[in-house]
Amino acid sequence: AQTVTQSQPEMSVQEAETVTLSCTYDTSESDYYLFWYKQPPSRQMILVIRQEAYKQQNATENRFSVNFQKAAKSFSLKISDSQLGDAAMYFCAYRSAREYGNKLVFGAGTILRVKS
Amino acid sequence: GAGVSQSPRYKVAKRGQDVALRCDPISGHVSLFWYQQALGQGPEFLTYFQNEAQLDKSGLPSDRFFAERPEGSVSTLKIQRTQQEDSAVYLCASSLSLAGGLFGPGTRLLVL
């Protein structure tokens, strides 16, 4: 079974600075998808960024980028120019590329605090 | 609708009571997932539908949990004889493909 590990329960960053959230995963599959989700307090889960395992190029979405290291099974999220609105719980998630049973497997999450 | 909706948003139940949680996915989304999220934890998979077919229910924690999607759109998660350990946020997500899927706001269930 696949597992996702987020080793940082909590991180803090100064507004306008850069922060990196770590994620590692374990799988025997070669084709899969990785995601970062943001969940603000008492609000719904929002997709931040997605990476296909077959792509070597790291995904980027505005201030958000990933460092995908397939051999190391590592998938970190970098947030540049941090804003107060970035404060939330961030979840790393894995999904198999198989046609069926493609549920998301989540890590335990990292709370990100942004200081003004 | 514009997004995935869930109702009720909050539910307080007495231990032993049955509850029903509803999910309205985005129109046309064939895949629908239910997840359970305990306080301060990541969501955990409960069950998966492709249209009306329940293809995976391996995450349902006990036979007190039952889910259905009879017409391939709205889904209901039913919990019978609720226990305190059932207290959690229940999330529904729908998707067209292997994209991440869009989540609803969740139903926060508190069992007293």
Interchain proximity A104–B33, CB inside 8 Å:
yes
Subunit contact B56:A93, Cβ cutoff 8 A: no
Whether residue A95 and residue B35 make contact (CB cut-off 8 A), yes or no, is no
- The pLDDT value recorded for residue A73 is 97
Quick one: pLDDT at residue A79? 98
DSSP chain A: --EEE---SEEEEETTS-EEE--EEE-S-SSEEEEEEEE-TTS--EEEEEEETT--SPPEETTEEEEEETTTTEEEEEE-S--GGG-EEEEEEEEE-SSS---EEE---EEEEEE-
Q: How far is CA B50 from CA A10, B36, B106, in A?
A: 36, 19, 20
User: Which residues on B lie below 8 Å from A97 (Cβ)?
Assistant: 98
Minimal Cα–Cα distance from A108 to chain B, Å?
Answer: 5
pLDDT given for residue A40 in this prediction: 92
Instruction: In whole angstroms, give the CA distance from residue A33 to residue A50.
Output: 7
Q: Distance between CA atoms of B66 and B60, rounded to whole angstroms?
A: 8
Report whether pLDDT(B100) > 70: no
Q: How many CB atoms lie within 10 A of CB B67?
A: 21
Q: How confident is the model at residue B106 (pLDDT cuts 50, 70, 90)?
A: very high
Please tell me the predicted confidence (pLDDT) of residue A25: 98
Instruction: Give the nearest partner residue to B98 out of A43, A102, A109, using CB atoms.
Output: A102
Give the mean pLDDT of B30-46: 94
CA A68: distance to chain centroid?
10
Distance CA B99, CA A89 (A): 21
pLDDT mean over A69-81: 97
| Backbone dihedral region for residue A99 (phi beyond 0: left; psi -120 to 50: alpha; all else: beta) | alpha
Contact A109 B40 (CB under 8 A): yes
Among A23-37, A98-112, B63-77, the least confident range: A98-112
Tell me how many degrees the CA angle B19-B21-B22 measures, rounded to the nearest 5. 150
Predicted confidence at residue A1, as pLDDT, reads 82
Tell me whether residues A45 and B59 touch, CB distance under 8 A: no
Measure CB to CB from residue A100 to each of B33, B55, B91 and give the nearest one.
B55
Over range A41-53, report the average pLDDT: 90
Q: Residue B94's closest chain A neighbor by CA?
A: A103
Tens digits of residue pLDDT in A10-28: 999 999 999 999 999 999 9
**Average pLDDT of the segment spanning A97-113:** 87
Contact call for B98 and A37, based on CB within 8 A: no
* pLDDT for residue B86: 97
A79 close to B (CB below 8 A): no
Which pLDDT band holds residue A101 (cuts at 50, 70, 90)?
low
Q: How far is CA B27 from the centre of its chain?
A: 17
CB-closest option in B40, B99, B103 to A45:
B103
Considering only CB atoms, which chain A residues are within 8 Å of B91? 45
